[in-house]
Amino acid sequence: MIDFNSLSEYKENNRLEVKAAKGGLPKSVWETYSSFANILGGLILLGVVEKDDKSLEIVGLSDADKIVDDFWDTINNQNKVNTNILSSKNVEVLTIEDKNIVAITVPRATRTDKPIY
């Protein structure tokens, strides 16, 4: 589990991906979702950036609830994503350092659900 109060100590890797999401839900979130689901699972953080030194910084989201709504609308649209393996417990808005971020925990897909695309 990640310690969100020490987020700057973490780095992106094959189980952690961050996205600023300043312009709304990024399209690249779907590539990350499918990659994590098809391999080992992982955590996507929206409202967080990777700095030049590879440390992470919370930038926050101005409308985290809208991003969550857009996320659910898209993941439940089979014309966009073939299979939704998430439930409401996997997507949450967190307030850290007085800034809102969205944390999406992607589990590893079962063999029968793969491939996720």
Looking at residue 59, what is its pLDDT?
97
Q: Dihedral of CA 8/6/11/108: which sign? A: negative
Residue 1's pLDDT band, with cuts at 50, 70 and 90, is confident
CATH number of the structural domain spanning residue 78: 3.30.950.30
Domain range enclosing 23: 4-106
pTM above 0.75, yes or no: yes
Total count of domains within the chain: 1
Task: Judge whether 83 and 109 are in contact, CB under 8 Å.
Answer: yes
CA end-to-end span of the chain: 26
Percent with pLDDT over 90 in the chain = 93
Residue 92 lies in a domain: yes
| Distance set, CA 3 to CA 6, 38, 81 (Å) | 6, 25, 30
Is 49's pLDDT higher than 90?
A: yes
- Burial label for 18, CB within 10 Å (0-12, 13-18, 19+), is buried
Mean pLDDT of the chain: 96
Q: Is the pLDDT of residue 5 over 90?
A: no
